[in-house]
Structure 1
Amino acid sequence: MMEECCNELNEMNIKRNDHCPSCKNKPKNVKLITLKSLLVPASLETLNAKETYYFCSTPDCEVVYFDTSHKKYLVSEIKVPVHQKDENAPICYCFDWTNEKINNYLQKGLTPVDAIRENMKENRCGCEVNNPQGSCCLGNVTAFIKQYS
């Protein structure tokens, strides 16, 4: 259900001493299933399932994921473009809400948030395996609408 997808955000805690080994910004925890779903096969073969993984959202940083040993996984090692690092990437990965699609929807006086929430209510989202940040995309969509509308 909707709550399951978005409530996982509350379960992910950032260890206060961790930072991206490249840009030094604070990351957020990401579940192993996200990396298993989105790493290219050659990079997936180097994954250590016993590590804790983090997502770096810094736009100009090439690192997408890293672990507690600071092993890095770069933009080039991810199967999909990363919204935070590529303006042409989907904002909502589950339902392919891109900048253009959202803007078209808004011009018609509609809000994509309602459509996304309806799909979430029907338990159709799979953010943990579709979205590189490993969590609900709705916050990204809402931020985009506020920034560009």
Structure 2
Amino acid sequence: MNKAFMREPDEFPSRCPVCQSIGQPVGPETLNAQLPSDTRRSLAETAYFCPDSQCDVVYFDDYSAAITRREFHGLIAIKDAEAPLCSCFGLKREDVELDIANGEVFRTKAAILKAQSSEARCTTQSPNGRSCVQEIQRYFLKLKQDADRSPRPAP
């Protein structure tokens, strides 16, 4: 087909300057809540969160500014294994692991219900400004699949 009739994409996704992951848009409310004002001033009004767990960049903008983990104060659920999965209500990986080990979903389900309620403050509490529900479900399902695949000891 002739290129003259092909439509070019209107926008290209913003990519992390270090790992090239597609950034998750983060608004000013999240940035203002997560960063000290002097650090916050180095970024544009709207920036992006780098979702790559191995990458040192936390936030970046389209003007080559970046905030690294060293400059970020606090743990990040997506990047730090010891951070709570839920920034608002403190659900930890260990809580989900206990649910799996005990064959229950009490802690996990309670956190998801709270995260879906009006009590959640994801925009200001979570470094990526998003709800933790998807991350909690992903972690739970991964552990459950691993547990289902593991050979059970004979009685």
Same fold, TM-score > 0.5, yes or no = yes
Please name the residue that 2:51 is paired with: 57
Per-residue deviation at 1:113? 4.3
Deviations along 1:25-58, one digit per CA (max 9) or x if unpaired, are: 1111111111111113441343443xx3101011
Separation (CA, whole Å) in 2 of partners of 1:116 and 1:84 = 17
TM-score, structure 1 normalization: 0.79
Of 122, 126, 133, which residue of structure 1 is paired with 2:128? 133
Of 91, 95, 99, which residue of structure 1 is paired with 2:93? 99
Deviations along 1:54-94, one digit per CA (max 9) or x if unpaired, are: 01011111101011102001112223211121111111111
**Which structure has the higher relative contact order (CA within 8 Å, separation 6+)?**
1
* Secondary structure of residue in 1 paired with 2:52: coil
Please name the residue that 1:114 is paired with: 109
Amino acid at match of 1:83: A
Separation (CA, whole Å) in 1 of partners of 2:49 and 2:44 = 16
Structure 2 gaps of 5+ residues are 1-10, 145-155
Deviations along 1:115-145, one digit per CA (max 9) or x if unpaired, are: 1343245410000111111111000000000
Aligned length: 133
Of 110, 122, 147, which residue of structure 1 is paired with 2:142? 147
TM-score, structure 2 normalization: 0.76
More helix by share: 1
Larger radius of gyration: 2
RMSD: 1.9
* Secondary structure of residue in 1 paired with 2:12: coil
Correspondence 1:22 to 2:18: yes
Sequence identity of aligned pairs in percent? 24
Separation (CA, whole Å) in 2 of partners of 1:147 and 1:38 = 29
